[in-house]
A and B are shown apart, each in its own frame.
Chain A
Amino acid sequence: MFAAAAIALLVTAALALARAALGPTVFDRLQAANTIGTCAMLLVAVMGFLNGRPEFLDLAIIYGLLNVIGMVAVLKFFRKGKLGEADE
C-alpha cells in the first residue's frame, strides 16, 4: 500500500515536471517546482515507512522547510534582483 502511494506521488511529480517544462510564465514553473517539492517531501516520508526506517522523517521536515524558503527566496530574487535587502 505504501508502494501505491509512492507511485502516485511519482506520477504527480512527473505531471508537475511536464508543467514546469511547458509553463509559459516563470510563475507556472515555480508553482510546479513547489508541487514537486511537496511530492518529494511526502515521498521521503512514505519511503521511510516502506523500508521500515521512519528516521527518514527528519529529512522530510528539512525538505519541507527548504521548499518554502527556497520558493520565497526565488520570488524575492525575481522582484528585486538581489537577496540582501529588506523587503519594502
Chain B
Amino acid sequence: MNLALIIDLASWVCLLAGSFFCVVGGIGLLRMPDFYTRVHAASLTDTLGAGLILLGLLLQAGFTLVGAKLVMIGLLIFFASPTGSHALTRAALVRGIAPQLADPPEASSSKP
C-alpha cells in the first residue's frame, strides 16, 4: 500500500513535469525569433515533455499490455521526431530560408 502511494506520487510528479515542459515548448514556439530557433523550442515538447508524460502514464499502468503500448509510443517518438525535424530544417535550408546567426560568418548580417 505504501509502495502504491510512492508510485502514484512519482507518476504525478512525472505528469506535472512533462506538462510543464510541453507548455514551455509551446511558449518557446511563440517567442523565438526565427524558424530554426523555433524548431529547438518544439523539440523540447517532443523529447522531454512527451517522454515525462509517457513515463507518468507508464508508472500508472505498470507491467501490462498498456504499459508495453506506452513504451511503443515512446520509441516511435524517439526514432521519428528527430527524422521529422531534420527533414523540416533541411527543406527550409534548401528553400533558401537563411538562419539568423549571432555572429554572421562573412556575408550580410541579419541580427541587429
Contact = CB atoms under 8 A, between A and B. Distances in A.
- Find out whether A and B make contact in their complex, taking CB atoms under 8 A apart as touching: yes
Contacts of A19: 29-30, 38
Contacts of A12: 22-23, 25-26, 45, 49
**Of B16, B81, B91, most A-chain CB atoms within 10 Å:** B91
B70 A45 contact: yes
Contact of A16 (B18, B29, B95): B29
Given A1-B15, A15-B26, A42-B53, A58 B35 contact: no
Given A8-B19, A64-B80, A27 B97 contact: yes
A28 B20 CA distance: 22
A14 B69 CA distance: 27
Interface in A22-60: 22, 25, 27-28, 30-32, 34-35, 38-39, 41-42, 45-46, 49, 54, 57-58, 60
Interface residues of B, number: 46
Interface string A1-20: 11011011101111110110
Contacts of A38: 45-46, 50, 77, 81
**Of A11, A32, A42, most B-chain CB atoms within 10 Å:** A42
A83 interface: no
A22 B34 CA distance: 12
Contacts of B72: 61
A8 B22 contact: yes
Nearest to A30: B88
24 contacts: A4-B15, A4-B16, A5-B53, A7-B19, A15-B23, A16-B29, A16-B42, A19-B38, A22-B30, A27-B35, A27-B88, A28-B38, A34-B88, A38-B50, A42-B49, A42-B53, A45-B53, A45-B54, A49-B57, A54-B61, A65-B80, A68-B84, A72-B87, A75-B91
